[in-house]
Amino acid sequence: MTDDVVVVGAGIVGAACARALARRGLAVTVLDRGGAASGTTAHGEGNLLVSDKEPGPELVLAQHAARRWPTLVEELADELGPRFPAVEYDPKGGLVAATTAEGAQPLRDFAARQRGAGVDAREIDVARALELEPALNPGLTAAVWYPEDAQVQPVAAAEALLASARRAGARVRTGVEVTGALRHGDRVVGVRTSAGDVPAGAVVLAAGPWSGVVAARLGVALPVRPRRGMVLVTTRMPHAVRHKVYDGDYVGATQSGDAALQTSSVVESTAAGTVLIGSSREQVGFDDRLRAVVLREMAARAVRLFPFLADASVMRTYLGFRPYVPDHLPIVGPDPRTPGLWVATGHEGAGIGLGPVSGELLADLFTGAEPEVDPAPFRVDRPAVLAAGSPSEEPGEAS
C-alpha cells in the first residue's frame, strides 16, 4: 500500500508532523538515516522561550507554542501512560539580566516592545532578581522576569511525539537515508532511499540543518544552513540555578545573521545538579570540531552572571547544528514549485519550542483545516527562501 505521506527526518519537527498527520487519519511513514531524535534535537537545550523573540511572526508562533505545550504534555502523558519517560516539562520562567551599563537600556527597551506584543515581561529590581536567583551577580544592571518561559527534555519530547504518532498508525524507519525523489512529471510521488524506493502521496521535508542538502537531492533549492552551537556542562554544583537565566546579549545573537562567532550565556541547573552553559552561534558548515576559544568566551560570560561558576569543573562539552534560514523564520507549508513536496524546517535555535505547533500547522495546511496562526510568514515561496536559486548540494555539507 502507498502511504499518504513520507516524512523525512525523525527529529522533533518530523515527529510533530508525523503525529499531527497520523492523528488526522493519514497513513504516514517517517524515515531517518540515523536513529530517532539523533540529529540536532539531541544536541540542543530544551528552552521554550518567548523572552528572546522580537515582536513579529516568530514571537506569535512562540506565544501559541507557550499556550499549547501544557495541553500537549497532558495529552502525551494520558496517551502513553506512566511507564513512558516524562518529557520533563517545567514552566520555571526565565530571567534575563544585563551585567554591563551599556546592556541595561537595550534590555529594558526590548522588554517594553515585547509587552506591546502581549508578552508578560516584568522589569524587576536587583533585590527581586536576587530573591529569584540568590547566586546571581549582585552587580547586575537590569533584569526582566518572563513567567511564560519553560523547558522540556528535547529527546524525551521527540520520542513521545513519535510514540504518539505510532499509536495513531505511523511507521518509523530508522537507518534509512533519503537519496532522491520519485517523480511523476513535476510531482514528487515518494523518495529514493538506501533501502529502496518509498512511494507516497506526498513528501514532508523535515531534515533539520540537513534540509538544504536533502532538498537538493529532491531537486529543489532551500536556503537552510547549519549554524553551529556549543554547550558546556559542569560537574554537580551545590548552588542551584532555579530558572532559565541568560544575559541580555542573547537576544542580539539570535537575531543576527552574522556568520562570525557570537556567544551569549544561558545558564540552567539540571535535576542532577550539573549546570548547563550555552551557547555559541557560528556559521562554519558542518565542521564538528570543538574550539577552546569559543568555550572560553561562553564560560567567561557565564561567570559574569553567576560568579560561583568560576570554581566549576567542566564535565563535558558538545555541539550541534541549528537549522538556519537567512530571515530567521521557520519554513512550513507546501512547496509551490514542486507539487507533492511539503516543508517543515528552519527553526534555528527554537525548534524544540516551536516544533510541535509547526507540525500541527503543517497538518492544518495539508488537510485544509483553519490554522491557529497565520501561515503566510512561514511559507516556502517567500523572497528569503526563493533567493536560494538553484539546488546545490555543497561539498562537505552532506554529513
Ligand X SMILES: Cc1cc2nc3c(=O)[nH]c(=O)nc-3n(C[C@H](O)[C@H](O)[C@H](O)COP(=O)(O)OP(=O)(O)OC[C@H]3O[C@@H](n4cnc5c(N)ncnc54)[C@H](O)[C@@H]3O)c2cc1C
Residues that bind ligand X (CB under 6 A): 8-14, 31-34, 38-41, 43-47, 177-178, 206-210, 214, 229, 231, 278-279, 320-323, 345, 347-353
Task: Tell me how far, at minimum, the Cβ of 101 lies from ligand X, in Å.
Answer: 28
Task: Tell me how far, at minimum, the Cβ of 344 lies from ligand X, in Å.
Answer: 7
The nearer residue to ligand X, 156 or 207, going by C-beta atoms, is 207
Q: Any idea of the CA torsion for 297, 294, 38, 337, to the nearest 10 degrees?
A: 110
Task: Tell me how far, at minimum, the Cβ of 105 lies from ligand X, in Å.
Answer: 26
Task: Tell me how far, at minimum, the Cβ of 303 lies from ligand X, in Å.
Answer: 19
The nearer residue to ligand X, 141 or 397, going by C-beta atoms, is 397
Sole residue written with cell 506569535? 60
Among 368, 336, 332, which Cα is nearest to 187's? Answer: 336
Task: Tell me how far, at minimum, the Cβ of 370 lies from ligand X, in Å.
Answer: 25
The nearer residue to ligand X, 141 or 211, going by C-beta atoms, is 211
Task: Tell me how far, at minimum, the Cβ of 125 lies from ligand X, in Å.
Answer: 27
Task: Tell me how far, at minimum, the Cβ of 126 lies from ligand X, in Å.
Answer: 26
The nearer residue to ligand X, 141 or 302, going by C-beta atoms, is 302
Task: Tell me how far, at minimum, the Cβ of 99 lies from ligand X, in Å.
Answer: 21
Q: Rounded distance, CA 394 to CA 379, Å?
A: 24
Burial of 102 (0-12, 13-18, 19+ CB in 10 A): exposed
The nearer residue to ligand X, 45 or 148, going by C-beta atoms, is 45
Task: Tell me how far, at minimum, the Cβ of 353 lies from ligand X, in Å.
Answer: 4
Q: Quickly list H helices, the chain.
A: 12-22, 57-80, 101-116, 126-132, 154-167, 211-218, 249-255, 292-305, 351-367, 383-386
* Helix H or strand E segment including 86: none
Contact 133, 243 (CB under 8 A): yes
Q: Rounded distance, CA 303 to CA 277, Å?
A: 10
The nearer residue to ligand X, 39 or 371, going by C-beta atoms, is 39
The nearer residue to ligand X, 49 or 141, going by C-beta atoms, is 49
Peptide bond into 279 cis (omega under 30): yes
Question: How many other C-beta atoms are found inside a 10 Å radius of the C-beta of residue 81?
Answer: 8
Task: Tell me how far, at minimum, the Cβ of 244 lies from ligand X, in Å.
Answer: 9
Residue 190, helix vs strand vs coil: strand
Question: How many other C-beta atoms are found inside a 10 Å radius of the C-beta of residue 199?
Answer: 13
The nearer residue to ligand X, 11 or 190, going by C-beta atoms, is 11
* Helix H or strand E segment including 204: strand 196-205
Angle between helices 351-367 and 57-80 (to 10 degrees): 90
The nearer residue to ligand X, 105 or 194, going by C-beta atoms, is 194
Which residues touch 177 (CB under 8 Å, ≥6 apart)? 33, 193, 194
Among 210, 226, 169, which Cα is nearest to 9's? Answer: 210
The nearer residue to ligand X, 23 or 322, going by C-beta atoms, is 322
Cross-strand pairs, 124: 143
Q: Rounded distance, CA 149 to CA 52, Å?
A: 10
